[in-house]
Amino acid sequence: MRRIKFKVPQTGKVLVFLTNNMTLPALTITALYKNRWQVELFFKWIKQHLRIKKFLGTSENAVKTQIWCAVAT
């Protein structure tokens, strides 16, 4: 395991990440975690506002279809 500490310049907050990727630079790892967090927040918003409790399929098409059905209702 690899432990990466990152200090957010705007807030001064220190974030700690654990990864098993030993080849990528630390800044790349932090960027990947930041992007992943945005995806997690998006799905949280979908579940809260569209009242989707779980996704019935795992493919891209299944998720899009379920989201569009929730928007339509």
For 34-71, b where at least 16 C-beta lie within 10 A, e where not — what string?
Answer: eeeeeeeeeeeebeeeeebeeeeeeeeeebeebeeeee
Note down the domain range covering 48. 2-72
Distance between CA atoms of residues 60 and 48, nearest Å: 20
Q: Per residue in 2-50, pLDDT tens? A: 999 999 899 999 999 999 999 999 999 999 998 999 999 988 998 889 9
- Domain total of the chain: 1
Give the pLDDT band (50/70/90) at residue 54.
confident
Instruction: Give the pLDDT confidence score for residue 21 in this predicted structure.
Output: 92
The DSSP code for 9 is: T
Query: What one-letter code names the amino acid at 53?
Result: K
